[in-house]
Chains A and B, each alone.
Chain A
């Protein structure tokens, strides 16, 4: 494919918002697993329940720590008392599961009938003695992964302001009280040993829910630069939420966390490190570099580290180099993924995205632009609130080698001879950090590898050409 370098800036468009995505309440699926002592109560209708039941697949059978508070006609018409009803259900949850926190997920219905969840929660909380966090993760306002954003933004208010043991400690350990807290149960020597490996810098808290192995990987990646991660929002348990004091530094690991970032800056008076996200070796490197630069640290060994990763995945990169990709958009990871795939040598035809926070994603957008220029490929159009129907027309016209899309379109596109990758897998797979580069590429190249295996069978189009209208 011949490409010319285009000097213009990124091109942003906005369509009708008629696109397919998951309802943001789906965040309970991964958050209840991440926060081990939580219980998620989705206050909504059968529609919400049906979605969760089907979207979560087999997880539903594993006695998940989530449930629906299914609203009935009496709730809608306010014949029943919200407070009494919620109290009854929450007491039942307390009795059966005894969680450390109950997260109420507000839905479209509670928005429309204006249930004052934020008002009811503190009262009920003191009545039953379990913290209740309210997140309005509804389809009126948000898409898919933004659900996590609303939950984490609500959790940010619950992070302790001071470590409980802080006052009794000496000045030096005062600063490290959080670390002690995190290392609770570990031998003291270990903690002390750790001290010397870190540079002296203001506390850094990372936000974004990631699987524990990835948390460890990214924490160690920063440790190599002498940066200590004082805590993560969210932690493994609600009772272990990190201390956040005024003046702490925070950095996001996922592109859909703008509300959380805003809350941390405005309400908790933290300083946000605006960096590209640690997706792909290029992103991870930029992320580490940016954090280092804020703390005045000269990063070491990143060149080698990145080069070594690229080398190790060359067999996969070879498969996609020079090919084109089209993101229909549904999970807000699109910009980072596109940037990574451009670095792999792909051309991005379109980046569909539900919502584009140009401030929170500024560094990522800048890196995308820079990457396109360096790789000599045209800058992609970024389509916010895309229109799936229009996108399909563009896909038919431009025939991309790969379409990254939701499941509603994947099979129909495959039947028309267009390779697809189901986008939701990227939300559940481990894609962050240097170590997981291969996993992203594994996903991206899978349809191409599969189709290489099936090549020459002559059945790539399985539906009749539709008559042109």
Chain B
């Protein structure tokens, strides 16, 4: 058992549902108790879906517990098949059904006899995988199913498309800015003269899946979703995979060069160098920005980064390499893929943090006192408590992270968006401090800067008053040094005298 208040990645079935409901005309049936269909609420509210989420529950209640589901699951599949005629029904196990150990495979086989659409059981163990891993596996499973089906029927198309083409794998519903990224990638491919063969899973039909082998290569923009599928396609059809996330100026160029290499190896004669420099100088403002005076002011400022692998790694590189910002630590909650993360970021930050414990993250932020945080919604709230601005760069996210305006993180427009995000986070922090230095609005009495450890020292009124006179951006440090000093010397209360004694002792 583990005491937990917050989790970064959801349970496995959420991943399966995200992939299933990204496809057009695919329905997921959860084998779950009442109330587990919370996914529908999230999809309807967060991404403001106009359509009903194609997820229903085959309810596990007392009767099921006593006698097993019997006909119930099969009936529910057949019923949904008749009502909505989906191409595919994905039976989705949950934590409950994995301990009931019912033979869901058997239900699927029985339902398949009567259902007109295809029926499949998502092969995901709730206790072994999280949301992201499950999504990756489910996408692979669906692709494999339809490739094999087409192969059996002799419907697999021969050869590649006439012009260079790509499968973009990994855009899904409830993904962080995925819909904007999707548009940006389409645009980028069009500029490169590359046809989009398919984009999966968001918006795709399962009938398109047999076309997958026709692409010249696969582009997997996100580390978390699509690599299993790309590996499968490479193994089956030798389709090469480009897995460089085009996020940030340098990485976007690297991604494009890799694409060039991959398609030229298959006989294209692409040269994207001119395109890259044109885009870098004229479309993206990020490069010019890092030369401008604004960015100079950010030099050496401290930041911390936390999120999923894709976004935290890319963000760390952008901050360190493209803006000269000091990334004190970068972290990920994708513990299962920690080695990759370490390898990506180690040279761009002082320390790498691999954890999914938000308390540990909060403490690490409090300890470092960065000028800005780039993290998830949880880090944003830590930032609020510590008065440190935060740019949200990864899931878990709230409804405000599903903006209506065009805000990709990938591609050349993405570099502009990220620049704004970074710059706005830092300036807000600076303005705040300037206000404080010039005696702006600081009438607050209480300052508690720790997240978990409560200080056992008392600050007297005059001590607190002196502390408040110290400019905000160093106040935390002074407070901590003073408390350390007081603890070492056994002072119970910190008054102005102790504060200045501490100051003298460190020679500040």
Interface residue tally for chain A (C-beta within 8 Å)? 65
**Is A463's CB under 8 angstroms from B62's CB?**
no
Cβ-defined contact, A85 with B50, below 8 A: no
Give the top 9 A-B pairs by smallest Cβ distance, nearest first.
A23-B35, A139-B33, A408-B40, A415-B50, A46-B11, A85-B1, A61-B381, A45-B95, A139-B35
Are the CB atoms of A72 and B127 closer together than 8 Å?
yes
CB-based contact A412/B51 at 8 Å: yes
Whether B99 sits at the interface, judged by CB under 8 Å, is yes
Tell me whether A412 and B52 are in contact in the complex, defined as CB-CB below 8 angstroms, given that A21-B35, A47-B95, A53-B7 are known contacts: yes
List CB contacts (< 8 Å) of A77-93 with chain B: 80, 85-86, 88-89, 92-93
Instruction: Pick the interface stretch among B53-61, B320-328, B438-446.
Output: B53-61
The stretch among A106-114, A122-130, A360-368, A374-382 that forms the contact with chain B is A106-114
Residue B10 at the A interface, CB < 8 A? yes
Are the CB atoms of A407 and B95 closer together than 8 Å?
Answer: no
Of B41-49, B139-147, B235-243, B482-490, the stretch lying at the interface with chain A is B41-49
Indicate which residue in A22, A68, A76, A469 contacts B4 across the interface (CB closer than 8 Å): A68
Complexed CA–CA distance, A49 and B4 (Å) = 8
| Interface assignment of B36: CB less than 8 Å from any CB of chain A | yes
Q: Which residues of A contact B381 (CB under 8 A)?
A: 61
Cα separation A102 to B128 with both chains bound (whole Å): 30
Q: Tell me if A314 is interfacial: C-beta within 8 Å of chain B.
A: no
Which residue from A55, A60, A109 sits with its C-beta under 8 Å from B38?
A55
Q: Mark A431-469, 1 if CB is under 8 A from B, else 0.
A: 000000000000000000000000000000011000001
| Chain A residues within 8 Å of B, Cβ to Cβ | 17-25, 43, 45-47, 49-51, 53-55, 57, 60-61, 64, 66-73, 75-76, 80, 85-86, 88-89, 92-93, 108-109, 111-113, 138-144, 389, 392, 406-412, 415, 462-463, 469
Find chain B residues with CB under 8 A from A85 CB: 1
Whether B14 sits at the interface, judged by CB under 8 Å, is: yes
A143 CB contacts on chain B under 8 angstroms: 34-35
Contact partner, B52, options A23, A61, A409, Cβ 8 Å: A409
13 more CB-based (< 8 A) A-B contacts, given A23-B33, A45-B11:
A18-B76, A43-B1, A46-B95, A57-B398, A69-B1, A70-B2, A75-B1, A76-B127, A93-B3, A112-B99, A140-B34, A140-B65, A469-B84
Determine if A23 and B36 form an interchain contact, defined as CB atoms under 8 angstroms apart.
Answer: yes
Residue of A nearest to B98 (CB): A76
Residues of B with C-beta under 8 A to A140: 33-34, 60-62, 65
Chain A CB within 10 Å — which of B3, B51, B84 has the most? B3
Residues in B with CB closer than 8 Å to A141 are 61-62
For chain B, the bracket of interface size reads: 35 or more
Q: Which residue of A lies closest to B42 (CB)?
A: A54
Closest to A20 in B: B37
Q: State whether B59 touches A108 (Cβ < 8 A).
A: no
Which residues from chain B contact A410 at a C-beta distance below 8 Å? 44
Minimum CB distance partner of A46 in chain B: B11
Q: Is the CB of B6 within 8 A of A53?
A: yes
| B40: A residues at CB distance < 8 A | 20, 408
Complex partner residue of B44 from A18, A69, A139, A407, CB under 8 angstroms:
A407
Which residues of the partner chain B approach A60 to less than 8 Å between Cβ atoms?
Answer: 5-6
Chain A residues closer than 8 Å to B378, beta-carbon distance: 61
Query: Please, what's the 1-or-0 string for B359-398, where 1 marks a CB less than 8 Å from any CB in chain A?
Result: 0000000000000000000100100100000000000101
Contact of B5 among A68, A92, A139, A409 (CB under 8 A): A68
Check B45–A411 contact: CB distance below 8 A.
yes
B137 on interface, CB distance cutoff 8 Å: no
Asked if B261 lies at the interface with its beta carbon under 8 angstroms from chain A, I say: no
Nearest A residue to B382 via CB reads A61
B123 to chain A, nearest CB (A): 17
B49 touches A411 (CB 8 A): yes
13 contacts between A and B (CB under 8 A): A25-B35, A61-B384, A68-B4, A70-B4, A72-B2, A73-B128, A112-B65, A139-B35, A140-B65, A389-B83, A408-B41, A415-B51, A469-B83
User: Complex Cα distance A53/B378, Å?
Assistant: 11
Residues of B within 8 A of A71 (CB): 1
Contacts of B44 in A (CB 8 A): 407-412
A72 contacts across to B, CB distance below 8 A: 1-2, 127
User: Is B435 close to A, CB under 8 A?
Assistant: no
Residues of B within 8 A of A66 (CB): 5
Chain B residues positioned under 8 Å from A17 (CB to CB):
34, 59, 61
In the complex formed, the residue of A with least CB distance to B452 is A96
Shortest beta-carbon distance from B102 to chain A in Å: 11
Q: Whole-angstrom distance between the alpha carbons of A153 and B338 in the complex?
A: 46
| Complex alpha-carbon distance, A61 and B100, angstroms | 34
Measured between C-beta atoms, what is the minimum distance from A159 to chain B in Å? 29
Does the CB pair B100–A112 fall under 8 Å?
yes
A49→B56 contact, CB < 8 A? no
Hey, which chain B residues are within 8 Å of A139, CB to CB?
A: 32-36
Q: Smallest Cβ distance from A64 to chain B, in angstroms? A: 7
Residues of B within 8 A of A462 (CB): 50
Task: Check if B33 sits within 8 Å of A54, measured CB to CB.
Answer: no
Q: Which residues of A contact B38 (CB under 8 A)?
A: 22-23, 50-51, 54-55
In the bound assembly, the distance between CA atoms of A22 and B32 in angstroms comes to 13
Q: Which residues of A contact B84 (CB under 8 A)?
A: 469
**Complex interface: chain A residues within 8 A of B53 (CB):** 408
Alpha-carbon gap, A21 to B45, bound state (A): 15
Q: Which residues of B contact A112 (CB under 8 A)?
A: 65, 96, 99-100
Question: Which B residue's beta carbon lies closest to that of A469?
Answer: B85
Least Cβ–Cβ distance between A141 and chain B, in angstroms: 6
Interface contact B96-A109, CB-CB below 8 Å: yes
Instruction: Name the CB-closest residue of A to B53.
Output: A408
Q: Determine the distance from Cα of A49 to Cα of B76 in the docked complex, in whole angstroms.
A: 27
Q: Which residue of B lies closest to A466 (CB)?
A: B51
Bound Cα distance A89, B1 (Å): 8
Residues of A within 8 A of B396 (CB): 53
B53-85 vs A: 1/0 string, CB under 8 Å? Answer: 100110111100100000000001000000111
Contacts of B35 in A (CB 8 A): 21-25, 51, 139, 143-144
The interface residues of chain A lying within 8 Å CB-to-CB of B133 are none
Taking the closest CB of chain B, its distance from the CB of A409, in whole angstroms, is: 7
**Among A47, A407, A415, residue most surrounded by chain B Cβ atoms (within 10 Å):** A47
In the complex, which residues of chain A have a beta carbon less than 8 angstroms from the beta carbon of B127? 72-73, 76
- Chain B residue at smallest Cβ distance from A390: B83
Residue numbers in A under 8 Å from B14 (CB-CB): 50
Give Cα A144–Cα B38 distance, bound, in whole angstroms: 12
Q: A141-B61, A408-B37, A411-B50 are in contact. Are A18 and B7 (CB under 8 A)?
A: no
- Per the bound structure, the CA–CA distance linking A410 and B45 in Å amounts to 9
**Chain B contacts for A75, CB-based, 8 A:** 1
